[in-house]
Amino acid sequence: MKLIVFIIILFTLTACSNTGNSFSGIQAIAPKVSLDNVQLVKMGLSEQVYRLRLLIKNPNSFPLPIQNLNYQLFINNQSFAKGLSNKAVTIPSLGEGYLETDISSNLADVIEGWGQWFSLAKRTLNYKITGDVGVTSFAIPFPFQYSDQVDLQLTK
């Protein structure tokens, strides 16, 4: 009898735990986050503020209610800026959406990395964005990493 009670308690505790990225028995796939656009918002001597437009793609068959996004932007393998967004946005199932967020950088850090910025003379810019996405009802944030190269050549 004690064994049966123990087994019932064990199954109950196992069924109630939600420590991973599943909800109601549904396993979730991490969204894809990429950089869509960057705008300079404020230019100061000690700080610059940029507005990032992030494209978020949801590979799941259910909507993803995003509650926060923690990220870092690298340019030519140098840390450029870090940011955190608490803007809530819901990405539709098997769809995509945008999240705009402001990020700041320090001019001294940017100047320090200029030695690595020689690719600008080659008219290319490599960037990487990394971080994690917090989704409502999921205990663990989803990590992401995306990198790409931007061609800076002007058309005539």
Written as six digits, the tokens of 16 are: 């109630």
Residue 89: the pLDDT is 93
Residues of the chain under the 70 pLDDT cut: 1-26, 107-123, 152-156
Architecture of domain 29-151: Sandwich (2.60)
Residue 92: the pLDDT is 95
Written as six digits, the tokens of 144 are: 């992401």
Distance of CA 84 to the CA centre of its chain: 9
Q: What is the pLDDT of residues 10-29, one digit of tens each?
A: 444 444 444 445 545 567 88
Distance CA(62)–CA(28), nearest Å, equals: 9
Distance of CA 28 to the CA centre of its chain: 16
Tell me the domain boundaries of the chain: 29-151
